[in-house]
Chains A and B, each alone.
Chain A
């Protein structure tokens, strides 16, 4: 089992460009999450999904969109990248709810110039 796989691992964008981060999990987990991690800010939840076809906003959703067309995949989109979105992005999944352990991917290090 690969667990949670994030693609790409690194990316540099110019301001205004768009991109999609892909997260795939092979554990048959219902819940999936996107976090951003910035120095001194801990982990902040961007969006999450409680099952295929569902998405919901976290605490910092502005500037991001998500889709969960297949149970195993959770996509995070940046429509028009801004330097403030420079961060490390982590995808995570859990079996059936927030009360269960979250399994994280290795992260995507995104720089926006």
Chain B
């Protein structure tokens, strides 16, 4: 079945360093969503990408959707302690597969 792989599983960085998490699908996606979950909290929607090659920015966060719509990335510039949490991607299959397929998430720890 359709899978969404997310790497790395864990990442430790020093505050101020950059961070990137990658999301790869076995099949073409119609769109992809990114969520952030703070420790002890619930997932919170960050952004949705729909178009091939799309790039969106939110302050220090840059989101990309691959040309083939099978991969995506989230890049954080100059991490801060407030960036700590788990970042999930969730892709919606194309065609008849309507449901979101969730990645397992990347847990980010930031050392001050």
Chain A residues packing against B (C-beta within 8 Å): 40-45, 48, 58, 90, 92, 97-99, 101-107
Are B99's CB and A42's CB within 8 A? no
Subset of 20 A-B contacts with CB under 8 Å: A40-B104, A42-B103, A42-B105, A43-B43, A43-B88, A58-B99, A90-B43, A92-B43, A97-B98, A98-B100, A99-B30, A99-B31, A101-B45, A101-B48, A102-B33, A102-B43, A103-B45, A104-B43, A106-B41, A106-B42
Chain B residues packing against A (C-beta within 8 Å): 30-31, 33, 35, 41-45, 48, 88, 92, 98-100, 102-105
Are B44's CB and A99's CB within 8 A? no
Max chain A Cβ within 10 angstroms of own Cβ: one of B30, B35, B43, B103: B43
Least distance between A19 CB and chain B CB atoms (Å): 20
What does DSSP make chain B's interface, helix, strand, loop or mixed? strand
Query: B88 to chain A: which residues have CB within 8 Å?
Result: 42-43
Query: A58 to chain B: which residues have CB within 8 Å?
Result: 99
Residue among A44, A99, A104 making CB contact with B42, cutoff 8 Å: A104
Residue among A42, A101, A105 making CB contact with B33, cutoff 8 Å: A101
Complex CA–CA separation, A40 to B103 (angstroms): 11
Query: B99 to chain A: which residues have CB within 8 Å?
Result: 45, 48, 58, 98
Least distance between B112 CB and chain A CB atoms (Å): 25
Are A43's CB and B48's CB within 8 A? no
Are A102's CB and B45's CB within 8 A? yes
Complex CA–CA separation, A97 to B48 (angstroms): 14
Closest to B86 in A: A42
